Amino acid sequence: MERYTLIITEKPDAAYRIASALDLNGKAKKVEDNGVPYYVAERDKPIVVVPAIGHLYTVAEENIGRNYYPVFNFRWVPRYIAERGAKQIRVWLETISKLAQGADTYIDACDYDIEGSIIGYCILKYACGGKENVARRMKYSTLTKEELEQAYEKPLPKLDFALIEAGRTRHEVDWLYGVNLTRALTLAAKDWSGKYATLSTGRVQGPTLRFLVAREKAIRSFVPTPYWEIKAEIEIDGKIFEAEYERDVIETKGEVEAVLSACKGNDGIVESIEEKRFQQMPPTPFDIGALQSEAYSLFGYTPRRTLDIAQRLYLDALISYPRTSSQKLPPAINYEGILKSLSAVPEYNRFAAELLAKKELKPNEGKKEDPAHPAIYPTGNLPERILEEPERRIWDLVVRRFMAVFGEPAIRQSVKVCVNVNGHRFILRGRQTIKEGWLRFYEPYVRAEEVLLPRIEKGQQLRIVRVISEDKFTKPPPRYNPGSLLRKMEEVGIGTKATRADIIQTLYDRKYVRDERMVVTDLGFEVLEVLKRHCPTIVSIKLTRNLEERMDKIQANLEKRENVLSDVIEILKPVVEELKSKENIIGEQLSKAVRKARLEERIIGQCPICGTGTLMVLYSRKTGKRFIGCTNYFKKKCNAAFPLPQRGFVRPLGKKCPKCGWPTVHIRIKGKRPWNLCFNPGCPSKEDRT
């Protein structure tokens, strides 16, 4: 083959999209070399598009070994050198190196963000033999044919070196934190107990765990205090409406009884009516944090899951690049063209037509900007395959949000009616939408309560059906869930748009937290206790945020990578020395916590057969098979035993079966959809399925 242009992409799906868009006939040729796919496109000259599979290079220590720390000397190496199970990376890099030899032009077309820039830079520098300084850069926010052709015809003349430098620094800083602190904790526990368990922490993971522990302590130490609420049931035009007492909280029973006594048998007089109309502005376009929060609120999808789904939709050219912090939609994306394309979908047709009839399309934008990408928006392309339900939901959410930002403000009205009952005032509240505006575009996802009151006039006498009191207790602060924790991380400025979801998932994977409403486990408490006692700087939110700001400055050429790395090493040196000097104490503390955590993982709940024992996941000494058995078996008081799948992960749900009241477990087997299992052989739910 004659000399060609070599284009590097981040993922195989992106390589296919780019090659197909650039081929003059729209049909690039797929080739495989040792199982590594790449594509050949014909244009003014041949183009070879070869994908990575994410990061092919990583940070590793100079001397390979896992059983020592501190470690401050590092280098960038192929992942197969540093990681077990990454053997295919060697073949991948060999194929890229071979293809690089026949090229005379090099283009980095990886995602235009920190991670993509690092991936492309490392491949060009190491696998392609030092081509990072001669390569050009394709910059695009969607994988549509039009945008990819434009990005190819008008590439940036060089790589984004400031972004690369910031990315390198972030990876190196996080590696320094992670390798030293994780080894310190893991080796301390292993040396004391003789058993291995990964106990990780990191630059962002530690402060994030600190939020959760602080909230957990506030919940556990909370002492509820009693209070009372008073409500009146009022009849208007034959319908009953509930009115709240003028004071939200009554603190003594005597005062409650005095109000009830005064109101008994009396009618109410309408003392005042206040009507307020206000505009409810359209929402701002989605950035990744807002999309993750909305998807969690609406569908219960974790931030990690939402990001994975959005990434698939991006690779299918259905939405723009999702890892963005922007709330801006520039006119260059062609609002009109996108709406015209979406109008081919029956459920969007009416809304798209309405927006296209406007004199001007102007989105309601937010303040946040991202120099790399605009806010998330639908490309206008329609699905080329049947979307899975989660994909369809996220695509629909993005489409409707996009349309809603161009809508008119909604006009809402609130009504406050004050009813006097023998000197005591009760408030009736009404809410209604006067003009829908943008709400109808976003309708399935709008949470606007409508409370319509009948016509009421000042001085009108109303029949009080009854006045009642409710006993209440003050509630502790709510637990974080993955959505609210992500917002907290965003608010205080720790982590990045690309890493926050992974950090939250790591807390679950390490067993530091459990459940959707995030409960900190004893292991999570102990890890944070060790860090706070022996190295408080590691869980300092201020220090973490400061490092984030300095790494952002590298991207703006206002800070040097070498200075940041030097300061990080100076922070870590005394920390690891302290951890090493207290290794035995820390090891004992963590080992006991790990043992307790492993035991808790196996506890299913109270035995429904004997009523006094505890059901646990047990293992047969004879066969090694696992089953659920009662702890009273060892006391020869109960023979309850129930089979379990022998493969996969079993986790107690902490919930009872709604049909029979027995404890339930969650089963997850690789390659299968997870399910919740009631192991009661006589459960009515099993009869329902027969």
Tokens read off for 419:
């009813």
Tokens read off for 606:
């109270």
Tokens read off for 194:
């003789």
CB atoms within 10 A of CB 36: 20
Plot region of 65 (φ>0 → left; ψ -120 to 50 → alpha; else → beta): left
Phi, then psi, of 423 in degrees rounded to 5: 90, -5
- Catalytic-labelled residue, pool 126, 152, 301, 321: 321
Distance CA 29, CA 433 (A): 56
Tokens read off for 622:
């004879």
Distance CA 297, CA 479 (A): 15
C-alpha 27: how far from chain center:
36
For residue 381, what is the DSSP state?
Answer: -
> What would the DSSP string read from start to end of 265-297?
T--EEEEEEEEEEEEEPPPPPB-HHHHHHHHHH
Helix, strand, coil distribution of the chain in percent, nearest 5 = 40, 25, 35
Query: Which own/partner contact pairs does 554-563 have at CB distance under 8 Å and 24+ positions apart?
Result: 554/162, 554/165, 554/166, 554/169, 555/162, 555/163, 555/165, 555/166, 556/162, 557/162, 561/165, 561/166, 561/168, 561/169, 561/172
Phi, then psi, of 103 in degrees rounded to 5: -100, 155
245 an active-site residue? no
8 Å CB contact between 109 and 136: no
Distance CA 65, CA 576 (A): 17
Give the helix/strand (H/E) hosting 434.
strand 424-435
Give the helix/strand (H/E) hosting 353.
helix 346-356
8 Å CB contact between 573 and 70: yes
8 Å CB contact between 399 and 342: yes
The amino acid occupying position 418 is C
Distance CA 199, CA 509 (A): 10
Alpha-carbon dihedral sign for residues 417, 420, 423, 425: negative
Distance CA 597, CA 512 (A): 9
CB atoms within 10 A of CB 386: 7
Catalytic site residues?
Answer: 321
